[in-house]
């Protein structure tokens, strides 16, 4: 069983996300993380995609390499931005020929180079439809617990997400830090008649210097959390901050599991330590081994 939709139908999933390395140093870090996380037996792993021919090849190489050399079940990301419909179709066909069965369909951020253009498909739901036409994929989409930054309102954001998720098999959320953010998202979808699995995205905050970046990456760190991290810093410095960040993420995971979530999706930043520590604290390593 390798399609994520089937895995979710069978029970709770635990998954990790990686990004393709840009150089030899990043490659070595990623290889080490994969070696350390593979024994945890994740349900699947997700590989990001930034767009452009170089990133496209890196994503393809990493995903196909996982299929050939590991026991991991990979999910490839693909974005609409800066691609024609034909290019996207060609990429999808190449994935299927390589044996890839799982896809994360994304709209994508605006291109860094305006010459790349916005792309022929405007929204992720159009990419979902194209992947369905190619066939053979279990398809996920992204969800924003605290509303997409380009949305004009919460209501319109949830309307678009519901329409997108109806076409897909499941969603993975951007990271967030409070249970209510996730619960509100799921409730909003349920009121729109959408009950597909929504996997909560987890990213521990392990340094005070990363706090400002979190808002630009997807979710602002709440004040109560900053105070806990600052208090840890006063007591034990950077290592204490790291430990407190892992503890906070573990607490959130426990709340989510108690609430009956369909799984947990960890943003690893290509490093394994924090994820392995959370796994151990939750007792998941023994369960998944």
Per-residue pLDDT, 27: 87
Q: How many domains does the chain have?
A: 1
CA–CA distances in Å: residue 18 to residues 186, 203, 270, 283: 25, 12, 5, 23
**pTM for the full predicted model:** 0.93
Give residue-wise pLDDT tens across range 134-179: 999 999 999 999 877 777 788 999 999 999 999 999 999 999 999 9
Q: What separation, in Å, do the N-terminal and C-terminal C-alpha atoms of the chain show?
A: 17
Give residue-wise pLDDT tens across range 21-71: 888 898 899 989 998 999 999 999 999 986 667 777 888 999 999 999 899
Determine the distance from the C-alpha atom of residue 191 to the mean position of all C-alpha atoms in its chain, rounded to a whole number: 24
Per-residue pLDDT, 289: 40
The alpha-helical segments, DSSP class H, found in 11-101 are 24-37, 52-69, 85-97
Among candidate residues 17, 101, 125, 277, the one labeled active-site is 17
Query: Bridge partners of 171?
Result: 141, 198
Which CATH number do you get for residue 259?
3.20.20.220
Closest CA to 34 of 21, 18, 48, 23: 18
Q: Average pLDDT in the 226-238 region? A: 97
Q: Give dist(CA 43, CA 13) in Å, integer.
A: 5
The DSSP result for 161-192, as a single string, is HHHHHHHSSEEEEEE-S-HHHHHHHHHHHHHT
Closest CA to 120 of 150, 85, 88: 85
Known active-site residue 36: no
Domain coverage including residue 69: 4-288
Per-residue pLDDT, 58: 86
* Tokens found for residue 26: 């990043």
């Amino acid at each position: 069983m390798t399609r994520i939709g089937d895995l979710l139908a069978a029970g709770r999933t635990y998954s990790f996300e990686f990004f393709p390395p840009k150089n030899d140093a990043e490659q070595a870090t990623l290889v080490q993380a994969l070696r350390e996380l593979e024994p945890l037996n994740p349900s699947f792993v997700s590989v990001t995609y930034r767009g452009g021919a170089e990133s496209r090849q890196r994503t393809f190489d990493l995903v196909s390499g996982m299929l050939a050399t590991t026991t991991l079940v990979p999910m490839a990301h693909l974005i609409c931005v800066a691609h024609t419909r034909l290019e996207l179709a060609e990429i999808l066909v190449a994935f299927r020929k390589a044996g890839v069965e799982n896809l994360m369909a994304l709209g994508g951020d605006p291109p860094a180079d305006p010459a790349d253009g916005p792309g022929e498909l405007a929204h992720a739901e159009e990419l979902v439809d194209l992947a369905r036409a190619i066939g053979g994929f279990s398809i996920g989409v992204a969800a924003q617990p605290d509303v997409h930054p380009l949305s004009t309102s919460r209501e319109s954001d949830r309307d678009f997400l519901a329409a997108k998720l109806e076409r897909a098999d499941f969603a993975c959320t951007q990271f967030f830090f409070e249970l209510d953010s996730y619960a509100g998202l799921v409730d909003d979808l349920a009121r729109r008649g959408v009950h597909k699995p929504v996997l909560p995205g987890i990213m521990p905050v392990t340094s005070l210097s990363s706090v400002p970046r979190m808002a630009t990456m997807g979710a602002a760190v709440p004040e109560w959390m900053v105070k806990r991290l600052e208090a840890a810093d006063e007591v034990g410095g950077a290592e204490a901050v790291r430990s407190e960040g892992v503890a906070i993420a573990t607490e959130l995971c426990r709340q989510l599991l108690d609430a009956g979530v369909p799984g947990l999706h960890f943003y690893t930043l290509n490093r394994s330590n924090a994820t392995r520590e959370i796994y151990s604290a939750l007792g998941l390593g023994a369960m998944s081994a």
